[in-house]
Amino acid sequence: MPLIGAVADDLTGATTTGVLLARSKARTAVFFNEEAAVKAEGVEDLDAILISSNSRPLPANEAYEKVKSATAALKRMGVKYFSKRIDTTLRGGVGVEIDAMMDVVGDDAVAVVVPAMPQSRRILVGGYSVIDGVALINTPVAQDVRTPVKENYIPRLLGQQTRRNVNLVTLDEVLEGEEAIRDALEAAREAGGEVIIVDAITIEDVEEIAKACIELKWNVIAVDPGPFTSKLAYYRDLIGQEEPNIPPEAEEDGRTVLIAAGSATPVTKKQMEVLCEDPRHVRISVDPVALIEGGDAALDEAFRAVHKAEDLLNSENPPRAILFETALHGELLNLAEEDSKRHYAEGMSADRINAGLGTIISQLLELCGREKVAGLYTTGGDTMVNVCYQLGVECIEVMDYVIPQTDIGRLVGSYDGLPIVGKGGLTGNDRTACDIVDRLFREAARKQMTG
């Protein structure tokens, strides 16, 4: 029976937390929605279940209901320890979603919020979020098309979103160690704190916070990007020590990695430019305007890309990787403006672009067969969801990460066992895309060896 359950506001967030548990010897599955988790077989054999509520861009009332319903489903499955997985950049209605989970878990629950993910250089100091040495509001996240973040002081950010009292445990208390953290947490709760935010700059800080929470014997809801959830599970003796799960190097066998790049960040653009410096990697640019228009225009553009890729896969020397991208060439579209001039609902242009990329991948697999494909690589959570949706996949068994927040797993159900990597748009260095392709070939070889 799964003892650990988490609700994430998007799919890549769910895999990021899931991978930390999987690397610690917990059998972990990530479900794309509550319905998929409820109807899944073999759930009782899992140690941890993560459900994506897909709620990050939703209005507050809708996000609340999604998270409340998913939490209730986990409770019915027998989950004892709950986590609310949040984005490292605090996008979405974090406070509202904390309320939703707390309303289900019980009146004695305390939300301990540890937004730090030191492995990815995401830290919290004095209540202020710092991303890779830059204040959160000065990162590209502040201009995110769907969920911009305009507040850098996290107690104020959450205080505007939750109906519960928010308190802060600062870095000076954290640096004094477990006993001081425990005392600070107790003082925050005695002062009426129900949502307690805690500073952290190192993984050791996160570990000390977890130990203090265990010592207090509170009914803690972990609110974090993954490290705090993992450390709590370790000190509750639910999982082992975190270790890499890397397969041995293997010769490549002529198969191809398919890449769907839905992220438009400068980080992703640079990574794909470096990837395509290798002549074995081919870029197929897809017109985003045609996909936004929908109907025959979208289908024609998708099938143009599919047939071009089909010819490449069936050639004598197929590419090592094929990149399908909509936002890495030409002028970057303002998707809010595209919605407005077509009288679309907010976010519809982005949804249509991602659906188009999903259609391209699924049609190509159907035409050419799985045996020609080493694995899938998607950038952006919405892209990953759409690719998997088009493939008829609703669950991923997570295994490891290439780098933190760049997670690798295997599809469950349709195309069972096919390796897939999901990467956030702001994650990694210039060579990360190259490293991901290399890793997918290793995973494909491991699958062949293990059957």
Model confidence over 140-156: pLDDT tens digits?
877 776 788 999 999 99
Domains, in order of start, for the chain: 4-235 (3.40.50.10840), 256-450 (3.40.980.20)
> Above 60 in pLDDT, residue 450?
no
Q: Which of 253, 358, 353, 368 is nearest to 308 (CA)?
A: 368
> Above 60 in pLDDT, residue 449?
no
Model confidence over 85-135: pLDDT tens digits?
999 999 999 999 999 999 999 989 999 999 999 998 999 999 999 999 999
Asked if 41 and 30 touch (Cβ cutoff 8 Å), the reply is no
Q: Which of 258, 282, 281 is nearest to 361 (CA)?
A: 258
Mean pLDDT of 31-43: 94
Q: How far is CA 106 from CA 71, 77, 123, 220, 279, in A?
A: 11, 16, 29, 11, 57
| Residues forming beta bridges with residue 29, ordered by sequence position | 49, 397
What backbone phi and psi angles, to 5 degrees, belong to 220?
-90, 130
Asked if 366 and 258 touch (Cβ cutoff 8 Å), the reply is no
Structure tokens that stand for 104 in this block:
């289900």
User: What is the residue-wise DSSP string for 414-445?
Assistant: TTTT-EEEEE-TT-S-TTHHHHHHHHHHHHHH
Model confidence over 248-257: pLDDT tens digits?
888 888 999 9
Is the torsion defined by CA of 113, 116, 119, 120 positive or negative? positive
Model confidence over 255-270: pLDDT tens digits?
999 999 987 788 889 9
Strands 406-413 and 419-423: antiparallel
Q: What is the pTM of this model?
A: 0.88
